[in-house]
Structure 1
Amino acid sequence: MLVLLPPSETKADGGLGSPLDLDALSYPELGPARRKLSAALVELAADLPGSLAALELSPRQAAEVQRNAELFDSPTMPALSRYTGVLYDALDVPGLTKAELARAHQRLAVASALFGLVAAGDPIPAYRLSGGSVLPGIGGLRGLWRSELEPVLATADDLVVDLRSGAYAALAKVPHAITVRVLSEDGAGRRKAVSHHNKAHKGRLARALAATRSEPKSAAGVVTVARRAGLVVEHTGQQCLDLVVPA
């Protein structure tokens, strides 16, 4: 099973790992695209106004540009610890047991605007780049990543659970993946899509899939694992699940 997570704009500071080694990352087929994009991002960081504009940052976020400037010099930490925010708070990596963390490293991967896809344990530095960014000399990231990522994901495990957000799902299609919608249900049974807390609920599902001793082989298996974790998940289509939460 492979669970695809979205990244986060926010990243944890610091790290104890050696500086970035692109050749040490999983999915080595993505190496040429990673090198091209990393070099462009470091070069852009020398132009603060240009970086702020391209990355859609305010002057108060100039430290994010400095992170990009130090991309190959700053320390690294495992991807699953580097990314922060609502989904990763719900995933609660520090609360996983040693065995659960080992399973998480085997099963979870993070979509990345900069690296394409990284395994949960891959050592990465802090950086700033979004799926919708347009970089000088590169253009939109979809044009760069789609031809590189789709062949890699096409050969992924038989069961892929896609929890990516829209901007990152657009970088590469995974036709055989199971997708998950988060819906709220009121007392009258009416349902609507959840936007604000969507990531938190997907984080809880990711935690359940990472921690379970069993290895789901189908959408029905994912539903079973989710329900054991106290989540309400329904198999609504051949490749679609609904995660239902109270309104």
Structure 2
Amino acid sequence: MLVLLPPSETKAHGGDGPPLDLDALSFPELNPIRRKLADALVELAADVPASLAALGLSERQRAEVERNALLHSSPTIPALLRYTGVLYDALGASTFTGVERERARRRLAVASALFGVVRAGDPIPAYRLSGNSTMPGLGSLRPLWRPALEPLLADISADELVVDLRSGVYANLARVPEATTVRVVTEDSSGRRKTVSHHNKAHKGRLAAALATCATEPTRTEDVVAVARAAGLDCEQTGKTSVEIVTRS
């Protein structure tokens, strides 16, 4: 099973690993695009106003441009510890036991505008690039990533269950038609349901933690539902490969 997580705009500082080595990352077939984007980000960082504009940042976020300038020399940490925020707080990777960390390294991957997709243990530096960014000289990221990412993810989904927890922007970079998708909804007193953003990240983080650490690895959408329920989530299968986590207002 591979669980595809969304990235986060916020990232942990520093690290104790060596500088970025693309050859140390999973899915080496993505390295030509990774290298092109990384070099473009470093070059763009030399022009701070242009970087702020291209990355959709404010003047108060100049430090993000400085991170990009040091992309090739700054320290790394495993991807699962680099990303921060609500989903990753709920995931709680720092609390995993040794056995759970090993399972998580095999089962979890993070979508990335810069790296395409990386496994949980891949060493990456802090950076700033969003899935909806347009890079000067390269254009938008979807036509750049889709020809490489879609065949890769299709090959993975042909061999194992893929659980897609990505947000819309990152799901748009590469489709995985056979993946099990997860939607977080709220149900009101009349039984009507609608997609919510408030609980979305936290519930997906809890589900990812359960899938990453469970003793028996899921192989079907039905197994995903069973694991979610065992973790205390109100979860239903709503289609052949679709799942809803239900909260109530």
Give the alignment's TM-score, normalised by structure 2. Answer: 0.98
Indicate yes or no: 2:63 matched with 1:63: yes
Indicate yes or no: 2:217 matched with 1:215: yes
Query: What's the CA shift for 1:225?
Result: 0.8
The match for 1:200 is: 202
**DSSP-derived class of the 1:208 partner:** helix
Measured against aligned partners, the alpha-carbon deviations of 1:55-75 in whole angstroms (never above 9, x if no partner) come to: 000011000000000001000
| Distance in structure 2 (CA, Å) of the matches to 1:151 and 1:130 | 22
**DSSP-derived class of the 2:235 partner:** strand
Indicate yes or no: 2:113 matched with 1:108: no
Query: What's the CA shift for 1:246?
Result: 2.1
Counterpart residue identity of residue 193, structure 2 = R
The match for 2:166 is: 164
Give the alignment's TM-score, normalised by structure 1. Answer: 0.98
| Distance in structure 2 (CA, Å) of the matches to 1:195 and 1:176 | 24
The match for 1:75 is: 75
**DSSP-derived class of the 1:174 partner:** coil
Counterpart residue identity of residue 240, structure 1 = S
| Distance in structure 1 (CA, Å) of the matches to 2:222 and 2:25 | 32
**DSSP-derived class of the 1:72 partner:** coil
Gaps of 5+ in 1: none
| Distance in structure 2 (CA, Å) of the matches to 1:246 and 1:121 | 35
**DSSP-derived class of the 2:183 partner:** strand
Indicate yes or no: 2:33 matched with 1:33: yes
Query: What's the CA shift for 1:104?
Result: 0.6
Query: What's the CA shift for 1:245?
Result: 1.4
**DSSP-derived class of the 2:238 partner:** strand
The match for 2:21 is: 21
Runs of 4+ in 1 over 3 A off after TM superposition: none
| Distance in structure 1 (CA, Å) of the matches to 2:78 and 2:94 | 12
Aligned residues: 247
Gaps of 5+ in 2: none
Q: Which moved more, 1:183-192 or 1:196-205?
A: 183-192
